[in-house]
Structure 1
């Protein structure tokens, strides 16, 4: 179960990686649990926090404002991978329930072990999923009908159905060890590419998801007009000519600020 200490630490970790001068080229997100990715949010702790937030001494408007702030902070933490300049690869196995679906929905790429099982479980506790699933999944899958079915019923679906739906891009035979290994291999491949090209691709794909084709093409013009001055292009050409592995500088420039 995921408690509130987890999501605060999760959000802070990604914020540190985004803001500080770490040379992160790709990141694999996996669970330390051997039998599952996550069973979802710790409902007991969530209920206690909601009761504390909904203090009866406050009036309804003030209670709602407090709850709005809590949900916003939760959303900001769990959707940090989407904001990161580097790709985040989710490697899941076993149950991926409730908040687990929210967590992986904001990742760039999702690999699933063959024993993975998914469910948008919030409906079974009397709540609409509010941390990312309902925002991301219709755009990830392009299947409004099935996402509505899954959100309205809370039914579980297999790795095969998740792959067919477009939620995961690969099913890996085995369980945790095998899917993490496959994700790390992918991360290693991505890390060997130009960080300017990878980061730019991520930003442009994310922009395309949220904008029209014409708006994205115009945005790409502006982005690549600046990005094209990178030395990475020359390094790619030189390394191919010399038949060696290219070497790219970190994406971030050290700052004294």
Structure 2
């Protein structure tokens, strides 16, 4: 396997362990993450030795989500020249590349089990929504936080989570940007089970992956393919729509205020402009 900057990948007993390693704080998702994730998924998909994948984060947290400082250029050109078509077109292309990175997880023929400890925020939630199965440790916390930074979530949560947690719970999380704990996540179906700590959830995820890997691999891949057909076209259409929506409407004084507040480490003051 390649030497990755944002991940480590280890393969043992037909199970690939894919671990987020940053380099942003809290495994935040910067340029390396978005570039490498589809490459890793493609390699694992093509490797006949891999029959299941465990996806987790290094350190105490799964992921803080989008690395705003590292990705600021993506938003900066859009805000600097908000009236012009060129930066909007560039932003649209960048968002669609990021969408494709996460969609690579859903498209991978090998089942993906997300093992979540600590914070799983924004893009982290997009990522685990694309996984097949989600498990959590008791200290896990989840947040669809984009509304709090003046962004319509556009990498997949709004399109994949309805089939996982239902419309009502999705809308509550998306409209409020609130944090929920592992117990609430299990109650609404975001995660299948909750375990005592990080070691326990990783052990459970690997045990489940080995159980899956013991079955005929082509049959398991066929099951995933059949199950994915139920929502694949709907998700793809939704991703195209939200990327175009954000390219048109994302530039705002509220977004500028949100990004400024992050850098200044203060609460934002939104005015609806």
Superposition TM-score tier, normalisation by shorter sequence: 0.7 to 0.9
Distance 1:60 1:185 in 2: 52
User: Quick check: 2:74–2:91 contact (8 Å CA) kept in 1?
Assistant: no
Q: Does 1:23 align with 2:49?
A: yes
- 8 Å CA contact 1:39, 1:96 repeated in 2: yes
**Aligned counterpart, 2:242:** none
- Deviation of the 1:120 alpha carbon: 0.5
Q: CA deviation at 1:100?
A: 0.7
1:166 aligns with 2:189: yes
Residue from 26, 41, 51 that aligns with 2:76: 51
1:14 aligns with 2:52: no
TM-score (structure 1 length as normaliser): 0.76
Post-superposition offset of 1:39: 1.2
Question: Distance in 1 between the 2:232 and 2:57 partners?
Answer: 29
The answer (yes or no) to whether the contact 1:90–1:110 under 8 Å persists in 2 is yes
Q: CA deviation at 1:188?
A: 0.5
Q: How many equivalent residue pairs?
A: 207
Match of 2:126 in 1: 102
Matches within 5 A, 1:204-219: 204-210=226-232
Uncovered stretches (5+) of structure 1, i.e. residues with no partner: 213-257
Whether 2:200 is the aligned partner of 1:178: answer: yes
Q: Conserved in 1, the CA contact under 8 Å of 2:74 and 2:94?
A: no
Residue 79 of structure 1, CA deviation: 1.8
Which residue pairs with 2:86 in the alignment? 62
Decide which structure has the larger Cα Rg and report it. Answer: 1
Aligned-partner Cα distance in 2 for 1:48–1:198: 41
- Partner SS state of residue 229, structure 2: helix
Q: 2:172 aligns with which of 145, 149, 157?
A: 149
- Which residue is equivalent to 1:5? 32
Q: Is the 8 A contact 1:54 1:67 kept in 2?
A: no
Q: CA deviation at 1:208?
A: 2.7
Q: Which residue of 2 aligns with 1:40?
A: 65
Deviation >6 Å, runs of 4+: none
> Which of the numbers 85, 89, 104 marks the counterpart of 1:80?
104
Q: Deviations over 1:87-136 (max 9, x none)?
A: 00000001111111001000000000011110001111110111110010
* CA shift for structure 1 position 54: 6.2
Stretches of structure 2 lacking an aligned partner (at least 5 in a row): 1-27, 235-273
8 Å Cα contact 1:40/1:96 also seen in 2: yes
Q: Following TM superposition, by how much is the alpha carbon of 1:84 offset from its aligned partner in structure 2, in angstroms?
A: 0.7
Other structure's SS at 1:79 match: helix
Who is 1:255 aligned against? none
Cα RMSD (Å) = 1.9
- TM-score normalised by structure 2 residue count: 0.71
Report how far residue 46 of structure 1 moved. 2.1
- Residue 49 of structure 1: how far off its partner (Å): 2.8
Shift of 1:62: 2.1
Asked whether the 8 Å contact 2:41–2:105 carries over to 1, the reply is yes
- The offset of 1:204, in angstroms, is 1.1
- Give the distance between the partners of 1:158 and 1:68, measured in 2 at CA: 33
